[in-house]
A and B are shown apart, each in its own frame.
Chain A
Amino acid sequence: MLVSQQQRIQEDIRAMVDKHGRSRSSLLPVLQEIQARWSSVPDFAMQVVADELGLHPAEVYGVVSFYSFLDHGPRGRFVVRLCRTISCELACKSRIARQLENELGIAFGQTTPDGRFSLEWANCLGLCDQGPALLVNDRVWTRVTPDQVHAIIEDCRKVFGAHAAQPAHASGA
């Protein structure tokens, strides 16, 4: 990674810490903002956060690894999370799962080679009367049928074309 890129990420994270405050209880909001910006919390970012908040990097890693919405490794620009909990299972979530795998060409837990999509399982999304339910980033889809899966993915591709933010890991952070 270029030094100037590192510097830019460092400045961005400093601004986040300034906004949320330099106390330990700001750690989660800062990490959440990093995750939203770069689709994961890479090593370099954890190091910067640790320095800024006066923590050991291992402490920061301990927190990142605990929460399923914070990722250490690279994740796609769009994270598709299909609910696998009971009410969605009763509503045949497994057919949606299969079709998601077919459309994206990846299995659950994987990211497409172009870095656009990750496919994940989620536990109950609080939409149990409208299953099968899924989240794409913070966007909700309910009563999904197998033939809608393609349109959901296409919808994301359009957004991607409109403002293609570079994930930090794409530049090797």
Chain B
Amino acid sequence: MHVIDSRKTPFTFDSVERGAGLAAALKLSRADIIATVAASNLRGRGGAGFPTATKWNLAAAARVKNEGDHKYVVCNADEGEPGTFKDRVLLSDYAELVFEGMTIAARAIGAPRGIVYLRGEYLYLRPHLETVLRHRREAGLLGSDIGGIAGFVFDIEIRMGSGAYVCGEETALIESLEGQRGEPRNRPPFPVDTGFLGQPTVVNNVETLAAVTAIFANGPDAFRLLGSAKSAGFKLFSVSGDCTAPGVYEFPLGITVRHLLEQVGGQDAKAVQVGGASGVCLPAAQFSRRIAFEDVGTGGSIIVFGPHRDMLAVARNFMEFFVEESCGQCTPCRIGNVKILEGIERLERGECSTAYLKELRALGETMQLASKCGLGQSSPNAFLSIMDHFQDEVLGRTPSLAGGER
């Protein structure tokens, strides 16, 4: 294979002894496992930043629907957000830590079955993951009476996605696991109550689960004392675009955009997209902002735009992505993304009035409010923030400028 090592800084995960996190967790009662996660202040690494302990508590308290049913732990390895590749590195090099995290979650909520939902684009990782799972079964770390605890049964199965970004949304992911089209469900009910096959299900990002293992191995304080008050811990960042050293970095949350750019060789950037296609575009004037859930939140995608980039072409690429990936279930998202893309084409031709641009902005804001799932709620973000900061660059284009640098 031709994948070059993407790691650019040492990861905290390097310092985690394999097996130490799970061993530490299995010494605790279920309630104390969740209390430890709560003490770390860990928030989900998939993007939304939901407190992990709260999610586990809800699933632990939820009841299965009928006798004989059971709960599930799902690892979200769909990693489809443009500019995100840190889960790929975790699954390649730290798969044990991810599986340990799933086993700890299973113990905490009482789930005998775990599923890794791996995106179809990562099929080449599957043989390695199956090998790690087989070794864990042979070592008694999966199966029955795990860690010598009578009755603690847990095993993990890998299921593949088939090329649909929306299946990373947790309810669409569950639909997909159930053999349906990957169309998001109405929430509530939430997966912690009504998830896979209607049973209580914890869905966590790959990195969240690996972080859980690190927290048990190194202690919750070591984690909580990094980062900011509302965004504890270290986090992996996938950095790409116009910088000298793209790759996966580990930084504490709360780092400023400027500081991050200095580390990756992107000091001359004109703009940075934080959070992938569904995130926001920050101009240089805002590089002192912090990457943290209380300021600019993200699942870790950082895309750097150099001084010569045409921001309208950037907006176009993002909107083409959303037009393609919208599941089409609800109108604001199905129609809205197409309308915004048409507006961008108008801007490219230099035929967009300020009044029309205002209408497009209003449409984007409606989509944020009225769309059914996070895809449509966030798909206008990039367009809106680019129009906020680069309006003078996109208005009044003449034919020689149309299409910009593309």
Chain A residues in the interface with B (C-beta under 8 A): 23-29, 31-32, 62-63, 66-70, 84-87, 89-90, 94, 122-131, 135, 138-143
Contact = CB atoms under 8 A, between A and B. Distances in A.
Contacts of A128: 82-85, 238, 240-241, 246, 303
A129 B238 contact: yes
Contacts of A85: 82-83, 277, 317, 321
Contact of A129 (B183, B239, B406): B239
Contacts of B406: 89, 94
Contact of A29 (B81, B160, B165, B324): B160
Interface residues of B, number: 59
Given A28-B176, A86-B82, 9 more contacts: A86-B314, A87-B303, A124-B80, A128-B238, A128-B246, A129-B6, A131-B240, A135-B121, A138-B124
Nearest to B174: A25
B241 A90 contact: yes
Contacts of B1: 139-140
B82 A123 contact: yes
Contacts of A131: 240
A79 B317 CA distance: 23
B181 interface: yes
Contacts, number: 142
Nearest to B125: A138
Contacts of A62: 181
Nearest to A67: B162
Contacts of A26: 179
Contacts of A31: 162
Contacts of A24: 178-180
B82 A87 contact: yes
B164 A63 contact: no
A130 B4 contact: yes
A124 B83 contact: yes
- Chain A CB within 10 Å, residue with most, of B82, B165, B314, B318: B82
Given A28-B179, A69-B163, A86 B83 contact: yes
A63 B81 contact: no
A59 to B, nearest CB: 9
Given A27-B179, A68-B164, A129 B325 contact: no
